[in-house]
Chains A and B, each alone.
Chain A
């Protein structure tokens, strides 16, 4: 039994629903914030996830980082050495999807030495009549960048745990893999 710890960066354009998503996840679906309250720095949320079919768990330290450009530079100083990445866009906003490449570059600049597992999240899937980004397009881009893809509706409490579970599992898998490597060294 082992408890891993991962520093999970949560980034993406303003108002795509990053804070709503991580609060929903942390409160197990008990809380959806309807009114937009802009994040002006970095908010830290901690939650532990059990890895299915093991006795292991991953404690996620979620760094909910401001999307607004004005704050990004200050936020970056708090990112440290991230372990996993959750990159969010709004499926009803094409520009928020276009920005993802830039966000990814920023984050990767913080981890020059190690690959970091990541998931791309298309949030607000409930806004189907206003959808601007097709699932297939997002999925294809995610795959081209080595990211997992999932869609969520925080409002409808749809799939909100999935991105975090995916990340925890990927991090757990990389731990197992690294243990193997180290055991083979000696």
Chain B
């Protein structure tokens, strides 16, 4: 199953370290690649997605720009605590193109996913869409 808007499944962004009111973190889960969340300076940056109920996930796909290193953590608690690292990625920069990153999760069950951008190819990074399978 590929969902097009995580928000339509009841997912929410419960925390984000940056907020430009014109480019809010909800843009990450609205299924639209044209809308985005942008960081407003300094690293690390992070955001946490909460699912409506615990989900079995085999693949996370992230569309972003200027992200250099990304860490992903999961939680199975109800209140976004006890995160455990599940993946760390070095992304490539392609001038003028969005980065598409697949992160296989082998059917992990989660209630929250936390994305931490520890460095960027620029002062500002953007995340356009996250989809899961």
Q: Do A and B come from one complex?
A: yes
Binding site for B on A (CB under 8 A): 1-7, 58, 61, 80-81, 83, 113-114, 116, 171, 174-175, 178-179, 182, 185-186
Whether B128 pairs with A2 at a CB distance below 8 angstroms is no
Segment 89-103 of B: residues with Cβ below 8 Å from A: 93, 96-98
Whether B123 pairs with A178 at a CB distance below 8 angstroms is yes
Alpha-carbon distance between A81 and B44 when the two chains are bound, in angstroms: 9
Judged by a CB distance under 8 angstroms, whether B21 is at the interface is: yes
B21 touches which of A1, A61, A178 (Cβ 8 Å): A1
Residues of A within 8 A of B23 (CB): 179
Alpha-carbon distance between A23 and B97 when the two chains are bound, in angstroms: 43
A171 touches which of B22, B119, B123 (Cβ 8 Å): B123
Whether A5 pairs with B122 at a CB distance below 8 angstroms is no
Whether A113 pairs with B21 at a CB distance below 8 angstroms is no
Residue-wise, chain B 96-126 has the 8 Å CB interface mask toward A (1 for contact) of: 1110000000000000000000011111101
Residues of A within 8 A of B121 (CB): 113-114
Whether B43 pairs with A80 at a CB distance below 8 angstroms is yes
Q: Is the interface of B mostly helix, strand, loop or mixed?
A: loop
Q: Determine the residue in chain A with the shortest Cβ distance to B17.
A: A5
Q: How far is the CB of A122 from chain B (nearest CB, A)?
A: 26
Whether A61 pairs with B34 at a CB distance below 8 angstroms is no
Whether B22 pairs with A2 at a CB distance below 8 angstroms is yes
Judged by a CB distance under 8 angstroms, whether B51 is at the interface is: no
Residues of B within 8 A of A179 (CB): 23, 38, 124
Residues of A within 8 A of B33 (CB): 186
Whether B42 pairs with A175 at a CB distance below 8 angstroms is no
B41 touches which of A4, A80, A185 (Cβ 8 Å): A4
Given the known inter-chain contacts A113-B121, A174-B123, please indicate yes or no for A83 contacting B22, CB distance below 8 A. no
Binding site for A on B (CB under 8 A): 18-23, 33-34, 36, 38, 40-43, 65, 68, 93, 96-98, 119-124, 126, 128
Whether A7 pairs with B42 at a CB distance below 8 angstroms is yes
What number of A-B contacts does a CB cutoff of 8 Å give? 66
Residues of A within 8 A of B20 (CB): 2
Alpha-carbon distance between A58 and B41 when the two chains are bound, in angstroms: 9
Given the known inter-chain contacts A185-B65, A185-B96, A185-B98, please indicate yes or no for A175 contacting B124, CB distance below 8 A. yes
Alpha-carbon distance between A183 and B21 when the two chains are bound, in angstroms: 15
Alpha-carbon distance between A6 and B121 when the two chains are bound, in angstroms: 15
B42 touches which of A83, A174, A178, A182 (Cβ 8 Å): A83
A2 touches which of B21, B68, B126 (Cβ 8 Å): B21
Q: How far is the CB of B87 from chain A (nearest CB, A)?
A: 21
Alpha-carbon distance between A106 and B23 when the two chains are bound, in angstroms: 35
Question: Told that A3-B40, A113-B93, A186-B98 touch, could you supply 6 new A-B pairs with CB distance under 8 A?
Answer: A2-B20, A6-B123, A81-B120, A113-B121, A175-B123, A178-B38
Q: How far is the CB of A57 from chain B (nearest CB, A)?
A: 10
Q: How far is the CB of B43 from chain A (nearest CB, A)?
A: 5
What 4 pairs between A and B have smallest CB-CB spacing?
A5-B41, A2-B20, A186-B34, A4-B41
